[in-house]
Structure formats: structure tokens, C-alpha cells
Structure 1
Amino acid sequence: MATPVFEEFDPASDCDCPGCVHWRRVSPRSLPGRLGGHPASRRALVVAAATSAALAAGHQASALAVPPTPPGPHRAGLPAGPEPGTPQGGKGPLHGGGGASVPPAQPRALTRTEIINRAKTWVDAKVPYSMSKYWSDGYRQDCSGYVSMAWGLRRNEWTGSLGGFGVKIKKADLQPGDILLFHNTADPEKGSHVVIFGGWTDYTHTYYTAYEQTPPHTRRLATPYAYWSHSDKYVPYRYKSLKAGAAGAEPGAALKAGPFPGAAYFGPGAENKYVTQLGQLLAARGGAAYYAESPGPRWSDSDLRATQAFQRAQGWSGADADGLPGPRTWELLAGGKGKDIRTAPAGAPASHGVPGYPGRNMFRPGADNPYVTQLGQRLAEKGYGRFYPAGPGPRWGEADRRAVEAFQRSQGWRGGAADGYPGPETWRRLFR
């Protein structure tokens, strides 16, 4: 087989292209000596060391072997306990605090903002996933218990009953607070799941912000429509007892008509409600990948880069795209006008001459940044989502490496050219 005509590995450290100069200045230093070098070389050393240790251990290895934990019921590949009868508990009363004696009643009326705000309480608390435990509010700590809580239902429901509290809608009608529900009537323990829709992340409506209860804990994550697996099985529903109120992409959009509060509310050291609102508006316009957690009141680099990405999406540059919101930026965001942020984070130097490629230092064990999320989302779009049982995220992991390797092999590359670490040519082909 012919050897690829390009070089995927990083060139010598004295490369003077603008991208390399930039990333050498801002990226974490590579580890020296035997811990440094190319990831594949370090991996070979680890394998060799592990092999030697195994041989030395001899017969003790078999005695200490532990069988792998079976996968979770609706998250294949994620460690979990043995599969239960269903992927969530059945219908039942609220738990504790007298909740068990509360009879079923008419569900409470809630606005979209109230639903999302309720959903965020579990995200902020990182409520652990469990089909047998109950959170302090009385709701079961699984996917259907989470939706029961967000919708303010009087009982803990399950995927087989949640649809009765909503009305079916079309994809085009989805708004924050609605749900995407898959109940496998033939075999409920296989695939059944439900998530809360938090708003579209891009104008193509291929990704949305999902609030969901899943191992290991409640999360908020940009997710391909309708879901990572069984995508064609999910049905959108709208809460029957929805109360009239602000309908934005996230809580905070209710303030979208408010005037620009002033430049003093944004930038290093700022901590106020307008920073939270800015982040929520940016996430709704395609900037969710810049936030590892939900936007908050303390100004961060995520806010700056997401703001700059939105500004660049409008075709601005220089001082007009400095990452600090001015009156015009605020007007476009608050009014739902202008162009959405592209899927790829804007403003990254063209390392090795490839636009948007941030350099290999962004993709290695321990890396945690929005470029890892961007890479994973693009791989999922290209058909490699099967490697992400829990969805792409900002922390580099084995799922990312295996997905990249599969893509590289699809290009006909082998050996070191298909090591699972994205080089400039891998990036160029993924995003062209």
C-alpha cells in the first residue's frame, strides 16, 4: 500500500508558521524526555511497560482479573450495574417528605423558562443517576424522574406514561421545555430514554442543547437531533399544562428586549446576571460548544471566545470582534438577529496552514477544551457517533481517539498515520 504523501506528525518544534508560533506560546508545555514526544510513541512505551509488568506478575494476573462491568441499559459502553427490567423505574408517588401520600393531581402550569430553570437545578447539583434512589425533591434520579421533576408532575412517571402529559409536535415546532421521548414498547429495557429540549445550537437545526439524566449525573450537552442512538425513534412532545410566558432558547431570553446594560458589566472580573444572560443567548445562537458547563454570572474565557465567535460570524474583524459585547452585539443577540455561530469555533490560528486547526496539543490525554467538543461533533456528523455512547464533550478520551482512528482508516491510512490523534490533514478532511 502506498505511503500517504502528507505528514500527519508534528514537524520540528522550530516550525515558524503563524499557527505553530501561536500554539507554542499559549499551549501547555510537552513533557520532557521519555514522557514527551509523539502520543503514539508514549503509548508504545506504556504498552511495553504494561507487558513487562504482566509477565512479572505471572499467575497472579489471572487471579486478579475482574470481569468487565456490563453496559448500561440505554447507554451502551458506559459502565453500569446489571441491566434492570426497565431503563427507568415505573410509575410511583413522590418519595420522602410526605410525598408518598400526595395523590395524583392535575399537573401544575409552568412557563418554558420555569421548566428549564427546574431542569438546571439538577444540572448544577450534578444529581447522580440512579433508578432506585430519590433526590431531596422526591423525584427518582433517572431520565423519566428528571422530566417528571422539570414538568412539575405530581408523581414519578416513566417513558411509557410521560407522553400522556404532552401533545405530539413536529421537529420544526420544538421550543425549550419540550421533550424528545423514545419508549420502546416491544422491549422497554432496550433504548427507552427521554431528554429535555433546551434550544437549537445552530441555524441548520442539526444540534440542540439537551438536558438529560444519564450516568454518571445530570448534564447539559449539545446533542445531534434527535439523539446519539435510535435517532429515528424519538418523538417530540410539548407539555400540556404549558403556561404562557417568554419563549426563548434558554432562560434569560425572557430579558431579550432589555437594553444593553453597558460595557462595564462585561470583561475580566465581572460577575452579574448580564454575563449569565449573555452566555445563554450565545449558547442559543450556536455557541454552546464554548461552555463546558452552563453559562454563569462570572465572566470567563468561554464568554470572551463565544462572543468573539458570534462577532466574527457577522463578518466583523479587528476591534469589532474583540470578544467584548457592545451595543450592536447585544442588539443582534437579544433580538434574535444576525448570523448564528458556525459549528467550528472561530478565531483559531491556522496551525500548519489549516484554518481552524488548533494544533495537536489540544488533543491529548488530559486535554479539556471546546476544540475536543467540536471535533467530536464533527465526527458524529460524519457517521462516527457510535464511538460516543455518552456524546462528545470537552474532555479528550478514548472515544475521541477511536473515532478519529476510524475516520483516518476510512481515508486509507495505516500505521502512524492512523493513530487516532488529529493532525492538520485529518482536520482539513473532516471540516472541508
Structure 2
Amino acid sequence: MTVPAFEEYVPAIDCICAGCAAQRRTAASALPVRYGGHPAAHGARRALVLATAAGVVLGSGVAEAAGSTGTTGDRAAGAAGAARTDPDGDSPQGGPGPLRGGGAAGPPSSTTTTPKLRKSSRAAIINRAKKWVSADVPYSMVKYWSDGYRQDCSGFVSMAWNLPGNEWTGSLAAFGTRIAREELQPGDILLFHNPADPSKGSHVTIFGGWTDYTHTHYTAYEQTKPHTRKKTTPMAYWTNSGKYVAYRYKGLSGGSAGSGSSVAGFPGAAKFGPGASNKYVTQLGRMLTDRGGKRFYEVGPGPGWGDADRRATQAFQKAQGWKGKEADGIPGPDTWRLLADGTGRDIPGTGGGGGGGGTGAGHGDSNPDSKFPGRGYFRPGQSNSHVDRLGKQLAKRGFGKYYTSGPGPRWTEADRRNVEAFQRAQGWRGGAADGYPGPETWRRLFG
């Protein structure tokens, strides 16, 4: 009788059998034990299969065993997919390490020491996240983008938070302060790290703001398959929702990490205007440059109020669709809040690369949808393209839950209730939230 012997078998990269496919998936998703990976996962990197000492070809029993393993794995994957309402949420990740490629190389970070923090504003965090969204950066746990950050979920957050290296879900918490979900503001993160098996379910997203007044959904910036995305997401995530923890970056500029905002509250209009010179003017200028206003400043920003501050402020106000006294170039509470929170619309580019005098002017009018058509189109019995456009925009912004079908061109009670929900999300009450769009509702909805 031939004496059986054991040898290590590495699955062929081009083999399509279920057993080899299962082994390749296991090997790709398992993290090194030194980074918190599960030891059992590494035992599956190489399968021990039975072979004879005489070199007899693997028998059908072993092949069936391999096929059975693959079938079990497929069933488990199917069960996981059935439990997940969003099929893109499974994003394995790499471990901590330095920046690569175009990024500045450096030693891997260590969570055993106090992490180095680079100051960053909420607006800067969101703007960096938007760059990856615009570039459709492909998801990968082994590739690095041109800025040096790894193209997985934790590399994405490392980039947005401007960390000195690539972190992972097991180390990101060291760079943040834990907060309650009710305190979430743009630039904070929602993090789930599974210490028992980090390759199973661990994920992190960037909070971009609430999409409804009930705070049940938010705008999530995240790196997931197939590429970076910005998507309305249920709080806290599609799966493992109860296990996600909210964190605020410790290096937020203009305030402590645990404060309600990275920037102090509005100091009052008297701090701005001709003759003013104080720290708030500097702070305003820095926030404006983060939102596209850098071209207005030849030098600065600085504490002395100048025409560059007025023009940059006016460009930001006009980018929100404001006109007249609302866009006079002097910041008020609403202007300050949008800048401090990193919300609202950025200052648009000049297009021709000239001076900044007309940068923000007419930005709202350049969008044909931004002009309010009139109240008469939105009443019972009305049927027109404006109602259809309104309904589609409501659904796009996350306020379409009352539509059982549609939206469509005929005004219905579902349209009114969805408009009312959007108005209440703005903080309006009473007659200001009656469910019938007016100029301000229209501007905010399409702005």
C-alpha cells in the first residue's frame, strides 16, 4: 500500500475550479497576523492536500473535497449577499504603511505612539474626498493612487484626513476622538473594525451631511468596489449598522477635536468690513481659499480686511444662489455656517482664467433648472415638465419616500409631502413648510 504524504498546494492563478477560486479569495482577503489578521485565515492561504509518495495524480475524492469547499464558500457568500441591501459594501483592505509612488515616502505609522497630526479644516477634508469621487479612483487593496494613498476604504480616509501614511480600520481611531452620532458633522467618519476577523465587514466612510430631517440617511463618501463614490446611505451603513462608531479628526483646525464645530461660532458682522483687523478675518479668508477662493488673494489671507476678502465672500454667497443684500460680500451667520461646516456650493472657477471680479456672478442663473418657474405649476390638477423635474430632484436629494410610482408630470399628494419633508429639513415650520415650492425651496433644492 502506498504511504500517503502531505505537501503544500498553491492554487493556480488561472484554474477556474471552485476549490482554487475559494483558496484564491481566502488568500487575497487575509491580513497579516501582525496587523490584526485572524490566524485561522492564514492557515487557509495554502491548502494541504493528500498526495501519494509515488506521485499519483490527485484522485476524484480530493477533487470533490475541493469542490465542496468552494460550494460552501459560495453558499456563505450568497447568504452574506442576501443579508446586505447594498452589494458594494464588502471592501477588504491592506494594512498600515507609508505613502507610495507620487506621495512622500515615510515610515509606517505606529499606534503605540502618539500619531502625528496635520491641521485640516472640514472643507479641506470634504474637498479631498470629492477629488477621488470626481476621478472615479478604482478600488484596490494593493494599488496606490498618484497622491501616494492606497486605493481602499482606509486609504481613502487617510487621504481625506491628510494623514502622514496609509492607515487601516484597526488604527484610524487613534487619529480621532469618539463622538455621538448626533454630533456628526461633515468630515467626521463612521468606522467599523472587526477585531475577530478584520477582513470580514470592516469598513469606514466619511460623513458628508444629513440628507433628511429625520437623520436616518446621510451622504457618505467612501472607497468601495468598483470605485470611489458619493451616495445617500442609511445610518450608519448597509450592514453591521449598529457596530459603526463615529469619530472626529483630532487635527481639525480652528477648534478642539471634541467641539461641536471645527470653527468658532459666528463672531458678528462687526468683525468684518473696511477697517476691521482681527483673527476672524484671517479665519474667514482661509475657509474661503479652501472653497475655491484662493485666486482672489495675491497674498494672504491675513487679519486686515481687504477687497480680496469682500470679493471672495461675495463669490461664495453668489455660488449659493443668493442675490442683492444676501450677496453683499460681508459674511453673515448663514455664510459663516456653510463655510465652517464645509457644506453649500464651492466657488466656481472663472472658466477663462482671468481675474476674479465676476467669478460668482450669475452662477445660479447659468443652471437652467435653478430658475423658479412660478407657484402656479405646483397645484392639484397641474401636469407639466416642472412637476416632473421637481420630483426627480427630490428623489435625487433623498426626499422621494412618498412616491409609490413615478415621479411624473402630474402634481400629486406624494409631491406635496416630499416637498414638505425637504422644507422641514431646512428647519422651516408652519406656512414655510406647507409642501408647495416657492423660490427659496427651489433654489435650495437645485442649488
Band the TM-score falls in, shorter-chain normalisation:
0.3 to 0.5
TM-score by structure 1 length? 0.46
Highest RCO, 1 vs 2 (Cα 8 Å, sep ≥ 6): 1
Q: TM-score, normalised by structure 2?
A: 0.45
